[in-house]
């Protein structure tokens, strides 16, 4: 696929060798996303290697300031500093950028989009469109249809975030450190801030010394308000990294303006786009990362009354979603599908 072979868009992937980059390719393929030509971009270290797309070998090119000439859509997943430098260059060259980093998410001119919630924010937007944080996407896909029917005043989220959220090297570190520990060897963490095998720790982003919140938590709070266009929704959140390879889980408790029952939430979830209910009390079967891995939907279960709220306005539930798919690549490709072709 060296030359453009149709009027379909030229698509560039920035960070093609990363965990999300690989899922951009797999997701475009799976969904039949029309691609006239694929440009695979990465650092000089990976230039010259190849990736496979629809049975063709695509040679990885080094990312440079000229990489975006002729590109229609650029999917970025190479970290905030790369996005800050190259996304404006891509836009200047005429591309629409879908950026998976947090670099532009809170920019008032940049739509922050979950297609199930606010696809209309894209309209004929030119420039940068931001893909939200995966922990935010996982919570907001099921919460949005509830919020529309009975406004959520307050939500408390506890995350159980997989290695995939910290990248391919963190996934390797989880496997290698687990193997080393089982063999009685000492393993010094290279990627994570603490021993990862048989452990869990505060999310590996910086802590604000004033508030005690880590960056991931702050993102979930700010992004919820921006996506819901509701600055007064109260969000409490604790983000934790757990030794799971792929797919994030979250315990979510929310309080609505009016009373709400378990059955009402079940009925809303049964119709909710992007949601699959797994809530089998008889079999004690509820959402698990192992079932969410490789799945497009956010799995929702353990729907139950929050017993700490006698007023009947609050519900608790447990969700799981593939961080690399709905939490990243799938959401970005769904955004790209909404762009005018
Ligand atoms: N920030 C997320 C995590 C991944 O660390 O798990 C991407 O949204």
**What ipTM, to 2 d.p.?**
0.96
What pLDDT band is residue 5 in, cutting at 50, 70 and 90? Answer: low
Arithmetic mean of pLDDT, 37-58: 96
Whose CA is closest to atom 4 on ligand 1?
A: 165
**Does the predicted model carry a pTM greater than 0.90?**
yes
Residues annotated as catalytic (active site), given as ranges: 134, 248
Q: Which one of 323, 324, 327, 331 would you pick to mutate in the ligand 1 pocket, going by the greatest count of ligand atoms within 8 A of its CB? A: 323
What pLDDT band is residue 340 in, cutting at 50, 70 and 90? Answer: confident
Indicate if ligand 1 lies below 6 Å from the C-beta of 133.
yes
217, 143 contact by CB (below 8 A): no
Distance 311 CA to ligand 1 centre (A): 35
DSSP string of 184-234?
T-----SSSSS--TT--EE-SSPBPTTT--BHHHHHHHHHHHHHHT-TT-E
Indicate if ligand 1 lies below 6 Å from the C-beta of 204.
no
Spatial strand order in the sheet of 234-241: 201-202, 234-241, 152-161, 248-256, 314-321, 298-305, 275-277
- Is it the case that residue 29 has pLDDT exceeding 60? yes
- Is it the case that residue 341 has pLDDT exceeding 80? no
Q: Render pLDDT for 305-324 as a digit per residue (tens, 0 to 9).
A: 999 999 999 999 999 999 99
Indicate if ligand 1 lies below 6 Å from the C-beta of 171.
no
What pLDDT band is residue 1 in, cutting at 50, 70 and 90? Answer: very low
Indicate if ligand 1 lies below 6 Å from the C-beta of 129.
no
């Amino acid at each position: 696929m060296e030359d453009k072979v149709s009027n379909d868009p030229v698509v560039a992937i920035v960070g093609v060798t990363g965990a999300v980059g690989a899922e951009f390719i797999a997701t475009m393929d799976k969904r039949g996303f029309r691609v006239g030509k694929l440009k695979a971009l990465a650092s000089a270290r990976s230039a010259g290697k190849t990736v496979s797309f629809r049975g063709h070998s695509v040679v990885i090119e080094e990312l440079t300031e000229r990489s975006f000439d002729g590109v229609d859509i650029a999917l970025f997943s190479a970290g905030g500093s790369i996005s800050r430098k190259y996304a404006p260059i891509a836009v200047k060259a005429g591309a629409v950028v879908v950026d998976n980093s947090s670099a532009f998410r809170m920019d008032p001119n940049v739509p922050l989009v979950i297609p199930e919630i606010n696809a209309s924010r894209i309209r004929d937007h030119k420039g940068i469109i931001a893909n939200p944080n995966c922990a935010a996407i996982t919570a907001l896909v099921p919460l949005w249809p509830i919020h529309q029917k009975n406004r959520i005043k307050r939500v408390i989220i506890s995350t159980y975030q997989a290695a995939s959220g910290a990248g391919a090297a963190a996934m390797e570190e989880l496997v290698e450190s687990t193997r080393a520990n089982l063999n009685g060897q000492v393993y010094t963490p290279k990627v994570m801030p603490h021993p990862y095998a048989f452990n869990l720790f505060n999310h590996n982003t910086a802590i604000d010394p004033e508030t005690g919140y880590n960056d991931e938590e702050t993102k979930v709070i700010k992004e919820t308000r921006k996506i819901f266009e509701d600055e007064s929704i109260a969000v409490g959140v604790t983000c934790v990294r757990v030794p799971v390879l792929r797919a994030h889980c979250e315990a979510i408790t929310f309080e609505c303006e009016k009373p709400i029952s378990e059955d009402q939430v079940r009925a809303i979830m049964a119709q909710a786009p992007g949601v699959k209910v797994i809530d089998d009390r008889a079999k004690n079967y509820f959402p698990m990362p192992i079932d969410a891995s490789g799945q497009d939907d956010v799995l929702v279960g353990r729907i139950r009354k929050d017993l700490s709220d006698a007023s009947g306005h609050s519900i608790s539930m447990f969700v799981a979603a593939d961080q690399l798919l709905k939490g990243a690549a799938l959401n970005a490709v769904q955004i790209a599908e909404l762009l005018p072709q």
